[in-house]
Amino acid sequence: MQEAVKYANIAHKGSKISNYLTLSIGVTKLIVTPMNNPADLIIEADKALYDAKRNGRNRFNVQA
């Protein structure tokens, strides 16, 4: 997906980071138990996404 976005050369005029659209991705996993909440998965994936952005954008981060 990142390569497809990169080669599409979509202008990102409002960005202070890049002239072109990039894609950062956050990935995590959750072992389902009666004790956890599906929202926990979204929270952890969001953390992974922002870690990817903090580390230079246009990358992916896997939160274990």
pLDDT digit string, tens, across residues 11-44: 999 888 889 999 999 999 988 888 888 898 999 9
pTM above 0.85, yes or no: no
Q: Is 14 exposed, middle or buried (0-12, 13-18, 19+ CB in 10 A)?
A: exposed
CA distance 46 to 54: 12
Residue 24 has a pLDDT of 94
Residue indicated by tokens 């997906």? 1
CA nearest to 24, candidates 62, 41, 12: 62
